[in-house]
Chains A and B, each alone.
Chain A
Amino acid sequence: MKLELLPWLILFLPLLAAGGITLFTLRYRTVSALLSIGAIVTGFVLSLVFINANGWQPSSAESIANWLTIGGLHVDFGLKLDALSLMMLLIVTGVGGAIHIYSFGYMHADRSFSRFFAFMSLFTFSMLGIVLANNFIELFIFWELVGVSSYLLIGFWFEKPSAGDAAKKAFIVNRLGDFGFLLGILMVWGLLGSLNFTVLQNKLTADPAVLGGMATVAALLLFCGAVGKSAQFPLHVWLPDAMEGPTPVSALIHAATMVAAGVYMLCRILFLLNADALHVIAWIGGFTALLAALIAVQQNDIKRILAYSTLSQLGYMVMSVGLAGPTPAMFHLTTHAFFKALLFLGAGSVIHAMHDEQDIWKMGRLQKKMPVTFWTFLIGTLALSGVPPFSGFYSKDSILGQALSQGNYALFILGAAVAGLTAFYMFRLFYVAFLGKPKTQAAEHVHESPAVMAWPLRVLAVFAVIGGVIGVSQTYASQFSPGEARESFGQSLVEPLTHSPAGVLVGLAFIAAGFFAARALYRDAASDPLPEKLGGLATAMKHKFYFDELYEATFIRAHDFIAAVMDWIDRWLVEGLCIGLVRGGTDLSGRALRLVQTGNLQTYAFLFVLGVAVVMYFVLGK
Chain B
Amino acid sequence: MSILTYIFGWPIVAALALVLVPRNYRVIIRAIAVLATLISAALAVKMFCAYGSAPMDADGYRFVQQIPWVESLGISYHVGVDGLNVGLILMGAIVAFAAACCSWEIKEREKEFYILLLVMSGGILGAFASLDLFFFYFLHELALVPTFIMIGVWGRGERKNYATFQITLYLSLGALIALIGLLALYVQSGANTFDIPRLTEYIRRHPLSVHAQNLIFPLLLFGFGILVSLWPFHSWAPLGYGSAPSPTSMLHAGVLKKFGLYGLIRIALPLLPQGAQGWMQILAWLCLGNILYIGWVAMRQKDLNLLIGNSSVAHMGFIFLGIASLNLIGVTGAEFIMVAHGFLAALSFALSGYIYQKTGTLQISELGGLCRQLRFIGTVLLMAAMAGCGLPGFANFVGEVTVFFGAWTVFPLVTGLALWGALIIGAVYMTRAIRNVLHGPLPDKWAGLADASNLWRKLPYALLLASLFVFGCFPRLLTDKITPDAEKIVAMARGETVAMGSTRLRRVQLGVPPNWIDTRETKVDPINPAASRPLTVSGATPETTRGTRVLHDNSAVALANNTILNQ
Main secondary structure of the interface of A (DSSP, over half): helix
Residues of B within 8 A of A48 (CB): none
Q: Point out the residues of chain A lying under 8 angstroms from B441, CB to CB.
A: 159, 161
Q: Is A186 in contact with B435, judged by CB distance below 8 angstroms?
A: no
Determine the chain A residues whose CB is within 8 A of the CB of B427 once the complex forms: 171-172, 175
Contact with A along B345-374 (1 / 0, CB 8 A): 000000000000000000000000101100
Nearest CB on A from B376, distance (A): 11
Name the contact of B329 in the complex, choosing from A72, A569, A616 (C-beta under 8 A): A72
Q: A579-B235, A612-B565 are in contact. Are A563 and B297 (CB under 8 A)?
A: yes
Is B103 part of the binding interface, using a Cβ–Cβ cutoff of 8 Å? no
Asked whether, in the complex, the Cβ of B235 is within 8 Å of the Cβ of A67, the reply is: no
A147-188 at interface with B (beta carbon < 8 Å): 148, 151, 155, 158-159, 161, 163-165, 167-168, 171-172, 175-176, 178-179, 182-183, 186-187
Q: Distance in Å from the Cβ of B540 to the closest Cβ of chain A?
A: 29
For A167, A560, A619, which residue has the most chain B Cβ atoms within 10 angstroms? A619
Q: State how many angstroms separate the Cβ of A376 from the closest Cβ of chain B.
A: 34
Give the residue name and chain of the A residue nearest to B483 (CB): A70
The interface on chain B, measured as residues whose beta carbon lies within 8 A of the other chain's beta carbons, has a size of 63
In the complex the two chains form, is B397's CB within 8 Å of A141's CB? yes
- Chain B residues, CB < 8 A from A591: none
- Whether a CB of chain B sits under 8 angstroms from the CB of A566 is yes
Q: Does B393 contact A (CB under 8 A)?
A: yes
List the A residue with the shortest CB-CB distance to B427.
A175
Q: Give chain B residues whose Cβ lies under 8 Å from the Cβ of A563.
A: 296-297, 299-300
With a cutoff of 8 Å between Cβ atoms, the chain B residues found around residue A168 in the complex are: 431-432, 434-435
List A contacts of B297 (CB < 8 A).
563, 566-567, 570
Residues of B within 8 A of A161 (CB): 439-441
**Contact flags B398-432 to A (C-beta < 8 A → 1, else 0):** 10011011101100100110011001110110011
Q: A residues within 8 A CB of B412?
A: 186, 190
Interface residue ranges of B450-483 to A (CB < 8 Å): 475-476, 479-480, 483
Picked from B166, B371, B423, B440, the residue with its CB within 8 Å of the CB of A178 is B423
Q: Say which residue of B300, B389, B392, B487 sits within 8 Å of A567 (CB atoms).
A: B300
Bitwise interface map of A from 57 to 68 toward B, beta carbon under 8 Å scored 1, else 0: 000000000111
Cβ of A73 under 8 Å from chain B: yes
Q: Is the CB of A159 within 8 A of B369?
A: yes
Chain B facing A: main interface SS: helix
B401 with A137: CB separation less than 8 A: yes
User: How distant is the Cα of A334 from the Cα of B288 in the complex, in angstroms?
Assistant: 44
Instruction: Kindly list chain A residues whose C-beta atoms are within 8 Å of the C-beta of B565.
Output: 612
Contact B408 A155 (CB under 8 A): no
Write out the residue numbers on chain A whose beta carbons fall within 8 Å of the beta carbon of B329. 70-73
Contacts of B386 in A (CB 8 A): 148
The answer to whether B235 touches A575, judged by C-beta atoms less than 8 angstroms apart, is: yes
Question: From residue B298, how far is it (CB to closest CB) to chain A in Å?
Answer: 8
Contact of A182 among B369, B419, B432 (CB under 8 A): B419
Chain A binder among B218-226, B243-251, B261-269, B553-561: B553-561
A57–B89 Cα distance when bound, in Å, is 48
- Structural contact, B405 and A73, CB atoms closer than 8 A: yes
Is the beta-carbon distance between B561 and A612 smaller than 8 angstroms?
A: yes
Q: Judge whether A283 is part of the interface by a CB distance below 8 angstroms.
A: no
Kindly state whether residue B534 has any CB partner on chain A within 8 Å: no
Contact of A71 among B327, B397, B562 (CB under 8 A): B327
Return chain A residues, CB-CB under 8 Å to B419.
Answer: 179, 182-183, 186
Kindly provide the distance from the CB of B148 to the nearest chain A CB, expressed in whole angstroms: 17
Indicate whether B81 reaches chain A with its CB closer than 8 angstroms: no
Q: Say whether A410 faces chain B, with CB atoms less than 8 Å apart.
A: no
Taking A71-B329, A145-B392 as contacts, is the C-beta distance between A158 and B371 under 8 angstroms?
yes
Chain A residues whose C-beta falls within 8 Å of the C-beta of B555 in the assembled complex: 619
Question: CB distance A67 to B475 under 8 Å?
Answer: yes
Contact of A570 among B235, B432, B442, B562 (CB under 8 A): B235
The answer to whether B299 touches A560, judged by C-beta atoms less than 8 angstroms apart, is yes
Residues 307-364 of B contacting A (Cβ, < 8 Å): 327-329, 332-333
B442→A159 contact, CB < 8 A? yes
Q: How many Å lie between the Cα of A56 and that of B264 in the bound state?
A: 53
| Per-residue interface assignment for chain A, residues 179 to 222, with 1 indicating a CB less than 8 Å from any chain B CB and 0 otherwise | 10011001101100000000000000000000000000000000
B509 to chain A, nearest CB (A): 35
B55 at interface, CB cutoff 8 A: no
Q: How far does the Cβ of B499 sit from chain A's closest Cβ, in whole Å?
A: 23
Chain B residues in 8 Å Cβ range of A165: 435
Inter-subunit contact B402/A73 (CB<8 Å): yes
Pick 30 A–B contacts, CB within 8 A, sort by A.
A66-B476, A67-B476, A68-B475, A70-B328, A70-B402, A73-B329, A73-B402, A73-B405, A137-B401, A159-B441, A164-B435, A165-B435, A167-B435, A168-B431, A171-B427, A172-B424, A178-B423, A179-B424, A182-B423, A186-B404, A186-B408, A186-B412, A559-B296, A560-B299, A566-B293, A575-B235, A579-B166, A612-B562, A616-B558, A619-B555
The 7 A-B pairs of least Cβ separation, nearest first, read A164-B439, A141-B392, A567-B300, A566-B296, A71-B328, A158-B439, A563-B299
Name 7 extra pairs, CB < 8 A, besides A159-B442, A189-B408.
A72-B328, A73-B402, A158-B439, A175-B389, A175-B423, A186-B412, A612-B562
